[in-house]
């Protein structure tokens, strides 16, 4: 039994590593056939010896028992929404408010992924709970469905406890394939990838969620002290090192003019991405200044979301 347990641990380690290389780093070191063979071996062992199946087993990626409903749970810290900007004028007003409050700042610009916001809770480096945003205070527990997203690490590279936020989304290619299948089955297709992602994560059968090929980008953490980070950019780099998938198109901006240049670039280039974005998120980069500025009842004072014009009327910023 000791030998079998050791083999299970080896399979866990290899499969988690290969999964990370493929889905996060986009740089697999083994062919799919080898990964599939190891996964099949682990599935067989767990079927014959259920005592070896753990909550963070790589086999949870394929889904499990269907649930009867989703339990509602409270977020450790509220998931607030962001104030919106729709024009250059809105952005310059935001910048003026920031400078009036704390002086000249550095900004962090990030793509606003068009998906479903979720929070992921880790205890001692293990993924234990995933919630939808819900009303910002209470969300639905969709942990089993989130475990099927290959880019979500089930075990981190460090034994750390915290909550991260991310945007789960459906890549365009997965969306097209899903709608093709729906049309073949004479079912109503999804209107867009965002609806498809939201619908998939609210399936009571996690096997169905697993078949939908969702992905995720992590964009924030509820407690920066856990990472010993002094800026948003540093926090994202450290999340990368822990094994999370963050969006690599982010960019620091020294002024609001740099922010506007970044927005103009992605307004033109957004169709070149393999996923949908509906805007750009701009944050004060320094955590100390974020804390100094604080929050309104609904949103942080140190961040804003620039929303792209409707696609039919795309205009220069």
Read off the tokens for 287: 């955590």
β-pairing, 84-85 vs 303-307, is: parallel
Pick the closest to residue 302 from 235, 234, 231, 249 (CA basis): 231
> Under a CB-based contact definition with an 8 Å cutoff, are residues 111 and 256 in contact?
no
C-alpha 7/C-alpha 33 separation (Å) is 19
How far CA 13 is from CA of 18, 98, 247, in Å, comes to: 9, 46, 25
- Given 53, 73, 112, 207, which residue is catalytic? 112
- The yes-or-no answer on residue 307 being catalytic is no
What span, in angstroms and rounded, lies between the C-alpha atoms of 283 and 285?
6
Q: What are the C-alpha distances in Å from 78 to residues 81, 93, 152, 295?
A: 9, 26, 21, 11
Beta bridge partners of 139: 73
Supply the residues annotated as catalytic: 112
């Amino acid at each position: 039994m000791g030998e079998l347990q050791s083999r299970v641990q080896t399979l866990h380690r290899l499969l988690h590593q290969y999964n990370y290389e493929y889905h996060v780093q986009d740089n697999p070191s083994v062919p799919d056939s080898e990964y599939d063979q190891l996964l099949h071996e682990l599935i067989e062992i767990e079927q014959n010896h259920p005592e070896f199946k753990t909550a963070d087993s790589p086999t949870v990626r394929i889904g499990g028992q269907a649930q009867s409903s989703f339990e509602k749970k409270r977020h450790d810290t509220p998931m607030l929404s962001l104030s919106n900007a729709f024009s250059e004028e809105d952005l310059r007003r935001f910048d003026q408010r920031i400078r009036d409050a704390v002086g000249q700042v550095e900004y962090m610009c990030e793509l606003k992924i068009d998906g479903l916001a979720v929070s992921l809770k880790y205890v001692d480096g293990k993924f234990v709970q995933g919630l939808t945003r819900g009303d910002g205070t209470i969300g639905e527990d969709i942990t089993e469905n989130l475990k099927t997203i290959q880019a979500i690490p089930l075990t981190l590279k460090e034994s750390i406890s915290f909550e991260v936020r991310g945007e789960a989304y459906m890549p365009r290619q997965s969306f097209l394939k899903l709608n093709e299948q729906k049309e073949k089955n004479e079912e109503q297709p999804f209107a867009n990838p965002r609806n498809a992602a939201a619908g998939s994560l609210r399936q009571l059968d996690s096997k169905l969620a697993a078949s939908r090929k969702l992905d995720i980008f992590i964009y924030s953490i509820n407690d920066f002290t856990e990472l010993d980070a002094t800026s948003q950019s540093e926090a994202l780099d450290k999340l990368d090192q822990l094994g999370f998938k963050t969006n690599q198109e982010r960019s620091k901006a020294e002024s609001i003019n740099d922010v506007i240049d970044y927005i103009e670039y992605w307004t033109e280039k957004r169709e070149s991405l393999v996923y949908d974005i509906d805007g750009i998120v701009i944050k004060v980069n320094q955590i100390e200044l974020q804390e100094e500025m604080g929050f309104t009842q609904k949103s942080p004072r140190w961040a804003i979301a620039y929303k792209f014009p409707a696609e039919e009327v795309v205009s220069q910023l």
